[in-house]
Amino acid sequence: MARDQRDHYYRMAKEEGYRARSAYKLLQINEKFHIIKKGDMVVDLGAAPGGWLQVAKQLSGGKVVGVDLEPIALIPDVVTIQADITVESTAELVKMELGASADVVICDAAPNLSGAWDKDHAVSIDLARSALRAAKRLLKPRGNFLVKVFQGDMFPEYLKDVKKEFARVQAHSPAASRKESAETYIVAKHLLTSPVHIGDILELEIESVGKSGDGVAMVEGFAIIVRGAKPGERMRVMIEAVKPNFGFAKVLEKI
Ligand SMILES: C[S@@+](CC[C@H](N)C(=O)[O-])C[C@H]1O[C@@H](n2cnc3c(N)ncnc32)[C@H](O)[C@@H]1O
């Protein structure tokens, strides 16, 4: 069954001129989540042999930059950089190529599998953390991020960290991923640029009442909605959710 499925996408990739069967994973993910749009500037981390680069170029038509440890054979109008994504300065090389902030960062980087699951999982998480750091450096506000991660005990913590940075985050396995594979993709939309993050604890003074009747406090010009709070009240709160234009907090104690 899994082999039939692999052969299906492998054959399709050969027929349709994609360099890797993984091209269909990006096509399927984009069909469902619309992370790449026409005109977008896209960065692909761990991009060899270039299947995702072909798809990214086809979907966006905009500037596309790929990075990999391995050289990538020429793709028309796509820039490639041979570099290590776990090295912080690599993001600067990409930034120089882009000349602006990116709309989308995608990362399909994977370690050479050793067969020792814990080790492969740890390297995968390390790559995904590097990709998240690069995404925060390279994306424009509200930009989108897609990253592959091998499942394992460090996965929930990583997912939590991605959720702190993006407004909408979910894990997804496209049909083109092999059934027996432990890989999953995290689809993260709308990079947040708010001054607060989920889990932050801060002291606030409620300044006004919002449309919903809840209290509103401002942090560096960013609105925090506190259910049931009244103007003039001071309190210690914990940030529970962050949206692009406002956050929600729950009261820990009034002060
Ligand atoms: C599954 S392949 C990517 C396939 C690609 N999405 C495509 O469609 O052609 C994973 C890639 O991650 C790259 N990689 C692994 N570790 C890396 C690192 N530290 N820096 C850059 N690339 C890395 C590997 O060289 C490999 O080419």
For residue 8, what pLDDT is reported? Answer: 87
- Determine, yes or no, domain membership for 247: yes
- DSSP class of residue 112 equals P
The torsion angles phi and psi of 2, rounded to 5 degrees, stand at -65, -40
Specify the pLDDT at position 33: 98
* pLDDT tier at 69, thresholds 50, 70, 90: very high
Residue 242 domain-assigned?
yes
Name the pLDDT band for 24 (thresholds 50, 70, 90): very high
Residue numbers of the domain that contains 248: 201-254
Is pLDDT above 60 for 104?
A: yes
- Contact, 136 vs 165, CB < 8 A? yes
Q: Amino acid identity, residue 241? A: A
Tokens of 38: 């026409």
- Protein residue whose Cα sits closest to atom 20 of ligand 1: 84
Q: Are 246 and 225 in contact (CB under 8 A)?
A: yes
Q: In this prediction, what percent of the chain has a pLDDT beyond 90?
A: 82
Q: Give the integer Cα–Cα distance in Å for 157 and 160.
A: 5
Domain containing residue 205: CATH number: 2.40.50.140
* Helix ranges restricted to H, 47-166: 51-60, 89-98, 117-138, 155-165
User: Mean pLDDT of all residues in the chain?
Assistant: 94
Q: Report the pLDDT value the prediction gives residue 5, as an integer from 0 to 100.
A: 54
Residue holding tokens 């993001």?
Answer: 91
Answer yes or no: are the C-beta atoms of 159 and 171 closer than 8 Å.
Answer: yes
How many structural domains is the chain composed of?
2
Q: Which of 147, 154, 146, 148 is nearest to 121 (CA)?
A: 154
Same domain, 121 and 27: yes
- Please give the pLDDT value at position 1: 42
Residue 145 and residue 221 in one domain: no
Atom of ligand 1 nearest to the CA of 54: 8
- Give the nearest ligand 1 atom to 70 CA: 25
Pocket of ligand 1 (CB under 6 A): 19-20, 22-23, 46-52, 67-70, 84-86, 108-110, 127
Q: Which residues are catalytic?
A: 148
For residues 15-35, average pLDDT: 95
Over residues 198-218, mean pLDDT: 95
Task: Give the number of the atom of ligand 1 that is nearest the alpha carbon of residue 52.
Answer: 8
Q: What is the pLDDT of residue 7?
A: 74
pLDDT at 180: 72
Q: Are residues 101 and 219 in the same domain?
A: no
The answer to whether the beta carbons of residues 44 and 64 sit under 8 Å apart is yes
Q: How far is the CA of 183 from the centre of ligand 1 (A)?
A: 14
Under a CB-based contact definition with an 8 Å cutoff, are residues 192 and 217 in contact? no
Beta partners for 145? 105, 188
CATH code: domain of residue 17: 3.40.50.150
| CB neighbours of residue 53 within 10 Å | 27
Q: How far is the CA of 185 from the centre of ligand 1 (A)?
A: 15
| Same domain (yes/no): 205, 183 | no
pLDDT, one tens digit per residue, over 77-91 is: 999 999 999 999 999
pLDDT digits (tens, 9 = 90+) for 154-183: 999 999 999 999 999 999 999 888 777 789
**For atom 8 of ligand 1, which residue has the closest CA?**
51
Q: 172: CA distance to ligand 1 center in Å?
A: 19
Q: What are phi and psi of 31, to 5 degrees?
A: -60, -40
Q: Would you say residue 2 has pLDDT above 60?
A: no
Residues 50 and 169 in one domain: yes
